[in-house]
């Protein structure tokens, strides 16, 4: 399934006010992981109150010990500081990488902005080396923009 074909499903999930925000975020994770072959772990991290750290939100994939990530640490922590997308074609080539699993080969993280403030991000791990394209980046920016409307 092409990424553009998933956009209406994302919009439907986000618009479903019969479920709470975490349930909608989990449904987005499930949709992406089930329909994009190179999305092996899909989750959301959010700023943990006033602390300079991220807290794990809804996700699908292998369990992770990384439920709290300090700003600046790992790919997610760097995105919390840079406010920019971070595409990592080969995680083994990154000095500041937090390994969740030895099977992860690549990662993409896209920030979520609410009123111009970076309040979280979507994080996707892949067991496929260098799988992420500009299409993935643009699609995940779309997802984050839709998600920001319910936060």
Instruction: Give the model's pLDDT for residue 99.
Output: 67
Instruction: Give the model's pLDDT for residue 98.
Output: 73
Instruction: Give the model's pLDDT for residue 55.
Output: 98
Instruction: Give the model's pLDDT for residue 31.
Output: 98
Tokens 């970076």 label which residue? 118
pLDDT tens digits along 67-87: 999 999 999 999 999 999 999
Tokens 């080539």 label which residue? 93
Q: Are 29 and 44 in contact (CB under 8 A)?
A: yes
Q: How far apart are CA 24 and CA 44, in angstroms?
A: 12
pLDDT tens digits along 85-101: 999 999 988 877 776 67
Q: Output the CA–CA distances (angstroms, integers) from residue 57 to 42, 130, 146, 151, in the order listed.
A: 10, 25, 17, 13
Instruction: Give the model's pLDDT for residue 123.
Output: 97
**CATH number given to 3-148:** 3.30.450.40
* Whole-prediction pTM: 0.96
Q: How far apart are CA 75 and CA 107, in angstroms?
A: 8
Dump the DSSP string for 62-128. S--S-SEEETTSHHHHHHHHH-S-EEES-GGG-SS---S-TT--EEEEEEEEETTEEEEEEEEEESS
Instruction: Give the model's pLDDT for residue 94.
Output: 84
**Which residues in the chain land under pLDDT 70?**
1, 99-100
Which tokens hold the place of 12? 């439907």
Domain boundaries, the chain: 3-148
Instruction: Give the model's pLDDT for residue 1.
Output: 57
Q: How far apart are CA 71 and CA 81, in angstroms?
A: 6
């Amino acid at each position: 399934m092409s990424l553009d074909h998933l956009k209406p499903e994302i919009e439907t999930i986000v618009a479903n006010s019969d479920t709470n925000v975490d349930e909608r975020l989990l449904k987005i994770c499930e949709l992406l992981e089930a329909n994009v072959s190179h999305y092996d772990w899909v989750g959301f991290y959010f700023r943990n109150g006033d602390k300079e750290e991220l807290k794990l939100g809804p996700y699908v994939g292998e369990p992770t010990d990384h439920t709290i990530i300090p700003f600046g640490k790992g790919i997610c922590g760097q995105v919390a500081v840079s406010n920019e997308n971070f595409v990592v074609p080969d995680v083994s080539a990154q000095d500041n990488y937090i390994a969740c699993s030895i099977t992860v080969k690549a990662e993409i993280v896209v920030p979520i902005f609410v009123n111009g403030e970076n309040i979280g991000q979507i994080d996707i791990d892949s067991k496929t080396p260098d799988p992420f394209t500009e299409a993935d980046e643009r699609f995940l920016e779309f997802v984050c923009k839709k998600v920001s409307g319910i936060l």
